[in-house]
């Protein structure tokens, strides 16, 4: 009887059922990469341009969707520079000029450290779970894995950069293997491909992320996950402007 009831609900209310399923899939994929409560990671970012390349290393702390901190560890010129997100506010600290700067919302879409990742991408200003509605478009294969294809549309007045996001999330491990980001006019801005799947901190995750702008030939940014710990104890009091200056 329960099966018949479920089939009737699926027939009568398919949009609602798919919307709920899509949100749950995105939530699982998001939690898998960020941790259900918190994460501490070390990453290496390689910025590739037609005539030059540049590498930046950094450490990152995050707690939920409201708190995140990033510390640049290399190169020497930027070492010690830090970034803080506290709820909806963001700051940067530059020790070389001893200056704290509050980042305005207009800077969310600007490239972080000269890369193809935005300030929004690295500081997690928006939440793909909370700030968007979700629609399951079907299934497609990405890198040999069967994936859910899910459309994300921003909610009204949500503080987001993108007009639409399309995600491909694997059906077996909930791995976000491909992402397409569109502007408000529905033009593709960039594509992110995740690969090098490994077991880190007890869970299977992608460890290489290649971000490719749609309109800049020869440009890309590669992000490598060197180390990550999930759900380590992190207090909200860790995410302060005072602590930005003390990070090592």
Render each residue's pLDDT in the chain as its tens digit; 248 residues: 444 444 444 344 444 444 449 999 999 999 999 888 899 999 999 999 999 999 999 999 999 878 999 999 999 999 999 999 888 788 999 998 899 999 887 777 788 898 998 877 777 656 889 899 999 999 999 999 999 999 999 999 887 889 999 999 999 999 999 999 999 999 999 999 999 999 999 999 999 999 999 999 999 999 999 999 998 889 999 999 999 998 87
Question: Judging by beta carbons within 10 Å of its beta carbon (0-12, 13-18, 19+), is residue 202 exposed, middle or buried?
Answer: exposed
DSSP per residue, 94-137: ETTTTEEEEEPGGGTTSBGGGSSSBHHHHHT-S-TTTSEEEEEE
Model-level pTM?
0.85
Gyration radius from the chain CA atoms = 19
What pLDDT was estimated at residue 119? 79
Yes or no: say if 45 and 115 are a contact pair by the CB < 8 Å rule.
yes
Yes or no: say if 176 and 190 are a contact pair by the CB < 8 Å rule.
no
What pLDDT was estimated at residue 66? 85
Q: Which residue has the tokens 């869970």?
A: 203
Tell me which H or E stretch contains 2.
helix 2-12
The alpha carbon dihedral of 138, 179, 216, 186 has a sign of positive
Class of domain 15-62+115-232: mainly beta
What pLDDT was estimated at residue 7? 40
Total residues belonging to the chain? 248
Tell me which H or E stretch contains 23.
helix 14-34
What pLDDT was estimated at residue 247? 87
Provide the strand spans (E) within the chain: 38-49, 52-63, 67-74, 82-86, 89-94, 99-103, 132-142, 145-154, 164-170, 176-182, 188-200, 203-213, 220-230
What pLDDT was estimated at residue 167? 98
Query: Encoding tokens for residue 75?
Result: 């190169």
What pLDDT was estimated at residue 2? 47
DSSP per residue, 187-223: -EEEEEEEEEEEEETTEEEEEEEEEEESS-TT-EEEE
What pLDDT was estimated at residue 44? 98
């Amino acid at each position: 009887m329960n099966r018949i009831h479920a089939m009737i609900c699926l027939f009568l209310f398919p949009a609602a059922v798919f919307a709920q399923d899509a949100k749950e899939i995105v939530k699982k994929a998001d939690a898998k990469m960020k941790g259900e409560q918190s994460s501490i990671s070390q990453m290496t970012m390689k910025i590739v341009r037609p005539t030059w390349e540049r590498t930046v290393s950094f450490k990152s702390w995050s707690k939920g969707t409201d708190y995140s901190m990033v510390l640049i560890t290399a190169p020497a010129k930027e070492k010690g520079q830090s970034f803080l997100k506290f709820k909806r506010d963001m700051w940067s600290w530059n020790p070389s000029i001893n200056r704290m700067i509050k980042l305005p919302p207009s800077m969310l879409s600007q490239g972080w450290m000269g890369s193809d990742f935005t300030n929004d991408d690295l500081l997690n200003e928006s939440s793909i779970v909370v700030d968007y509605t979700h629609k399951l478009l079907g299934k497609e294969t990405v890198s040999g894995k069967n994936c859910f294809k899910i459309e994300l549309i921003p909610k009204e007045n949500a503080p987001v950069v993108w007009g639409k996001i399309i995600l491909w999330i694997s059906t077996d491990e909930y791995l976000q293997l491909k992402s397409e980001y569109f502007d408000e006019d529905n033009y593709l801005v960039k594509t992110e491909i995740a690969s090098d799947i490994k077991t880190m901190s007890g869970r299977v995750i992608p460890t290489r992320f290649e971000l490719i702008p749609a309109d800049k030939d020869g440009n890309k940014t590669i992000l490598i996950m060197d180390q990550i710990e999930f759900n380590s104890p992190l207090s909200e009091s860790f995410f302060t402007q005072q602590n930005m200056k003390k990070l090592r």
